[in-house]
Amino acid sequence: MIFLKKIILFLSIFPLALCQENLDPDVFPRPLIIEINEAHLKEWPAEEVLLQCTSWRLAGEANNLNPWKTIPEECADYVKEYMTGKGYALDLQRVSNEAGLYARSVDLSGDGKIAWVFDVDDTLLSNLPYYAEHGYGLEIYDRMKFGEWVERGMAPAIQASLKLYGEVLSLGFKVILLTGRSEMHRNITVKNLVQAGFREWDKLILRSFEDQGKTATRYKSEKRNKITEEGYQILGNSGDQWSDLLGSSMSVRSFKLPNPMYYIP
């Protein structure tokens, strides 16, 4: 009965996490609004948490979830453990390895402008230190505080991505960075990227004033259209959000880095 109750509770929570309304056009990772009910969490057996939350995380990574604002309450500890444990690191490494294998299979002998597009936040640079100080997304998103974090320019490289980045460059791909960060953060973003080891790129595209208010999918699609019109062929794209990868002028291959903490449409 307790099991059944939990299943019903779990299923009933999902609709609450859905959101059809227009989201704040803010380009930064969106917050998790989660209240932990300790007594409640203890009721759910660890095995059930693992099963349900792995299924939820898988659905997110396969882009099956409808737009969501928060992770399910029951998965709060699970997500924290995943992000700080072996799971996240292993998944990052696997995506990097698979992308590298693909990159090496591409014929770059012509004189075409063969491009690889990278997202920045939680693709090249890790915001995990920020989330560590803010409950790994459990706190309500604070645009000011996150902006301050960005302006500190202290985000470390995601090591698996740094490795791929080096490989892709050495193979002869043109690297294009396409980020939802605002133009007002250009200087610190350049400084942070360089300090983290990302030292060479063809273009760094940030969100300008006229791109505010667009979904990330639309903004990034428009930029990819422009990149393609300029004669680039986009053969690889890495991002931690499906909005980095889907839309128009899609890359021949896309690589979805894991991120169960937030969803950007």
Write out the residues near a copy of itself by the rule CB under 8 A: 11, 14-15, 18, 20, 51-52, 54-59, 61-66, 86-87, 90-91, 94-95, 97-99, 101-102, 105, 254-256, 258
| AA letter at 112 | G
Rounded Cα distance, 219 and 244, in Å: 9
The distance of closest approach from Cβ of residue 53 to a copy of itself in the complex, given in angstroms and rounded to an integer, is 11
Q: Indicate the residue among 94 and 143 with the shorter CB distance to a copy of itself.
A: 94
CB of 52 to a copy of itself, least distance (A): 7
Q: Quick one: 118 or 141, whose CB is closer to a copy of itself?
A: 118
Give 223 or 256: the residue with its C-beta nearer to a copy of itself.
Answer: 256
Q: Rounded to the nearest whole angstrom, what is the least distance from the CB of residue 59 to a copy of itself in the complex?
A: 5
Report how far residue 234's alpha carbon sits from residue 142's, in angstroms, rounded to the nearest whole number: 34
Rounded to an integer, what distance in angstroms lies between the CA atom of residue 76 and that of residue 41? 9
Query: Are the CB atoms for 236 and 168 separated by under 8 Å?
Result: yes
> What is the distance in angstroms between the CA of the first residue and the CA of the last residue of the chain?
37
Report, in Å, the least distance between residue 257 CB and a copy of itself. 9
Question: Of 62 and 132, which CB lies nearer to a copy of itself in the complex structure?
Answer: 62
Q: Give the dihedral sign, CA 37/40/46/49.
A: negative
